[in-house]
């Protein structure tokens, strides 16, 4: 049965940003439905919810599959009398790999989850939002949707695609009173980092590229941005009296985006061409204001 509380759906709540967001929204009094591919693997979420005295209603669905999304949202909409006030498109994957050695299948799989997964979910809630002339859709993008980070080729492509998709969607639904936003986090301490260990390098030519990427993430993880920071921004965006299309949070995001905007394309490409690590880290700091050099 639907309640008088506002209703939120958060995708990919089994870990990381999704789990933190679902718990935070529930703590703010929203009725939260969280999607997972397997309820049996959501024991930590359920334990954290119990400890916090809140409830997250779990629904099994796979955002990568049309029929799974339709069936999952049918269950949600049946339980809520067709109402969803907030959709948080969070479910995603983050493969690592340079363009030369990343199979096209990885690109297709990544875009299917990160972009098409969001599209599938929006298509389920938008008719109701449009008819009620209210609702908020926020998608978890990445600062890498604005800065083409090396060695994350498929991931970056999917996040750049989200940027354009959200721009267009925001205009499409504006006449119906539906709000759209994109959240662009930087580095956060989430389980997705541990899942991204594959570094395809058949030629052996990209060892330096991977090492520098990991230096960036090591520096970010040391800075300690937690998934709860992103969850808080999701809620603030939902309740914002002066809503924006884009929100930036977590370590490295604002500096990376503003740094890239201020540099020329020649400077950007030149950064990648630097051979010496010490020179690269110094130039990186100069351009972005981020010290990622090893401390030992």
Catalytic residues: 155
Name the residue with tokens 């938008």.
126
Name the residue with tokens 């401390």.
295
- Strand ranges, E, within 99-201: 136-140, 179-185
Q: Any residues with CB less than 8 A from the CB of 141 and at least 6 apart, and which?
A: 159, 162, 163, 166, 182, 183, 184, 185
- What is the rounded distance in angstroms from the CA atom of residue 236 to the CA atom of residue 19? 17
- What is the rounded distance in angstroms from the CA atom of residue 280 to the CA atom of residue 82? 54
Q: How many angstroms separate the most distant Cα atoms in the chain?
A: 62
Q: Are 122 and 87 in contact (CB under 8 A)?
A: yes
Q: Are 149 and 213 in contact (CB under 8 A)?
A: yes
- Distances in Å between the Cα of 59 and the Cα atoms of 41, 76, 192, 226 are 12, 8, 21, 25
- What is the rounded distance in angstroms from the CA atom of residue 33 to the CA atom of residue 29? 13
Q: Any residues with CB less than 8 A from the CB of 7 and at least 6 apart, and which?
A: 30, 31, 32, 33, 80, 83, 84, 85, 86
């Amino acid at each position: 049965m639907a309640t008088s509380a506002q209703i939120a759906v958060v995708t990919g709540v089994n870990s990381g940003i999704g789990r933190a967001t679902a718990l935070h929204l529930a703590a703010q009094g929203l009725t939260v439905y969280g999607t997972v591919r397997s309820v049996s693997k959501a024991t930590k979420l359920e334990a954290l919810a119990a400890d916090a005295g809140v409830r997250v209603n779990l629904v099994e669905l796979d955002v990568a599959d049309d029929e799974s999304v339709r069936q999952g949202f049918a269950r949600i909409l049946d339980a809520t009398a067709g109402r969803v006030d907030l959709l948080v498109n969070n479910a995603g994957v983050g493969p690592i790999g340079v363009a030369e050695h990343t199979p096209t299948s990885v690109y297709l799989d990544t875009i299917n989850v990160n972009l098409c997964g969001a599209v599938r979910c929006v298509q389920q809630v938008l008719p109701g939002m449009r008819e009620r002339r209210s609702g908020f859709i926020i998608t978890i993008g990445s600062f890498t949707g604005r800065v083409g980070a090396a060695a994350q080729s498929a991931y970056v492509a999917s996040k750049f695609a989200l940027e354009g998709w959200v721009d267009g969607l925001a205009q499409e639904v504006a006449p119906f009173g539906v709000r759209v936003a994109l959240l662009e986090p930087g580095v956060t301490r989430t389980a997705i980092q541990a899942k991204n260990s594959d570094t395809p390098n058949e030629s052996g030519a990209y060892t330096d590229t991977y090492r520098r990427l990991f230096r960036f993430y090591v520096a970010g993880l040391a800075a300690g941005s937690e998934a709860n920071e992103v969850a808080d921004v999701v809620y603030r965006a939902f309740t914002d009296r002066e809503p924006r299309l884009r929100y930036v949070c977590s370590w490295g995001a604002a500096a990376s985006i503003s740094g890239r905007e201020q540099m020329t394309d020649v400077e950007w490409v030149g950064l990648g061409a630097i051979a010496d690590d010490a020179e690269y880290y110094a130039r990186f700091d100069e351009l972005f204001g981020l010290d990622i050099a090893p401390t030992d």
